[in-house]
Amino acid sequence: MTDFGLACPIPLSDYPTVTLAHGGGGRLMNHLIERMFMAAFRNPHLDRRHDGAVFETGGGRLAITTDSYVVRPLFFPGGDIGSLAVHGTVNDLAMCGARPLHLTVALILEEGLPMDTLWRVTQSLAEAARACEVSIVAGDTKVVDRGKGDGLYLNTSGIGILEHALDIRPASVRPGDVVLVSGDLGRHGMAVMAVRAGLEFESEIESDSAPLSRVVQALLRRNLEIHCLRDLTRGGLASALNEIAATARVGVTLDEAEVPVREDVRGACEVLGLDPLYVANEGRFVVFLPEREAEVALEILRAHEVCREARRVGFVHEDPQPPVTLLTTMGVHRVVDMLSGEQLPRIC
Ligand code: MG
């Protein structure tokens, strides 16, 4: 029998109700996942703290992952909720080192949603799936009452196949690895926020939303010793590195001068009081691999349009305290903490 008498692991005195920050990708979301969901669902797959689970079948290894999308507005410069849902799930499979095969799509629609809006999102889902060479093989549709659903929410799950023997996950990261970032940071979060805040900048900031499976496959084909891959979604580069460093029990030092951020994105971040290191991307990832392979990996990355500005931004060392530091352009070391509180709600 289920024991409903267990105490809720999130101190009720601190947060008697869910806040937007519980979905923001920072410390509160981390607490919720670690203390409530991990505690309740505990198993070796979840213990790996990866973008998806990799499991053995009779004939090989498969990866599985799932994601929900509640972005507001549904359409934004550089993308929409449909393409975002496909890219997000395809990218999580790619970060497991898998070649994406099939997706499922569940739609939660609000009564009154214009049929034309639904059609545009459906076309976007289909087009993105075609571009990613995955098929949408199962789905579900639910409709909720007017006023109770904010238009449209999506959930996508995906399955992919691993065609190599590497163990790509946070715990495989070791001292001596370098950290490569695949391109400029912060565009997705700022593109959505600029629309929402009604901000006008000189040039329109477009989301970086893009599939990363092809470039990851190219890295894998070269037999590089990849230790970990992670897409830089909610919480941005800073949160991803903190999570990986904590799991691998290592330290990461970033070189601020090498972290690519476009001037217009930097400006928008300043207006909104945000740090680009924490802003979400939907087409960017980090690669951890031994230093001797950095140049070959960068060459492969840069040969793909989506990673043309790939760079080496940091290295891994033995000292796990603090997990992530930034060598600033002023030449001082600053701790890059896990984000506490909320930075950008409803951006994916
Ligand atoms: Mg991810």
Strand partners, 181: 286, 311
CA 243 to ligand 1 centroid distance, Å? 12
pLDDT for 198 equals 84
SS3 74: coil
| Sequence-distant (≥ 6) Cβ neighbours of residue 27 within 8 angstroms | 338, 339, 340, 341
Please list the ranges in the chain whose pLDDT falls under 50: 1-2
Q: CATH 3.90.650.10 region(s) of the chain? A: 170-335
Nearest residue to 242 (alpha-carbon basis) of 30, 90, 70: 30
> What dotted CATH number matches 170-335?
3.90.650.10
**Six token digits for residue 314:** 């940091």
Residue whose structure tokens are 């492969």: 300
What is the rounded CA–CA span in Å between residue 330 and residue 73?
38
Q: pTM for this structure?
A: 0.93
In sequence order, the 6+-apart residues with CB closer than 8 A to the CB of 279 are: 185, 186, 188, 189, 190, 236, 265, 269, 343, 344
Residue 1: the pLDDT is 44
d(CA 88, CA 66): 9
Residue 110 CB coordination number (10 Å): 16
Full strand arrangement of the beta sheet holding 135-144: 53-57, 60-69, 152-162, 98-110, 135-144
Distance 93 CA to ligand 1 centre (A): 8
* Cβ within 8 Å of residue 37, ≥6 positions away: none
Cβ neighbour number for residue 100 with a 10 Å cutoff? 28
Distance 46 CA to ligand 1 centre (A): 14
Q: How far apart are CA 317 and CA 329, in angstroms?
A: 20
Residue 232 DSSP symbol: -
Strands 251-255 and 311-317, sheet pairing? antiparallel
| Å from CA of 133 to ligand 1 middle | 19
Measured in Å, residue 270 CA sits from the centre of ligand 1 at 26
Residue 107 near residue 139, CB atoms below 8 Å: yes
Instruction: Pinpoint the residues of the chain covered by CATH 3.30.1330.10.
Output: 47-162
In the reported structure, the alpha carbon of residue 294 is separated from the centroid of ligand 1 by a whole-number distance in angstroms of 22
Q: Which two tokens stand for residue 284?
A: 């960017």
Q: How far is the CA of 116 from the centre of ligand 1 (A)?
A: 30
Ligand 1 centre to CA of 57 (Å) is 23
Task: Note whether 94 and 216 are within 8 A (CB).
Answer: yes
What residues have their beta carbon closer than 5 A to ion ligand 1? 51, 92, 231
**CA 231 to ligand 1 center in whole angstroms:** 5
Report CA Rg, the chain. Answer: 20
- The CATH number of 47-162 is 3.30.1330.10
- Helix segments in the chain, DSSP class H: 27-31, 39-41, 44-47, 81-95, 115-131, 187-197, 213-221, 236-248, 263-272, 294-302
The CA-CA-CA angle for residues 183, 185, 187, to 5°, reads 110
Please tell me the distance between residue 338's alpha carbon and the centre of ligand 1 in angstroms. Answer: 16
Cis peptide bond prior to 323, omega within 30° of 0: no
SS3 115: helix
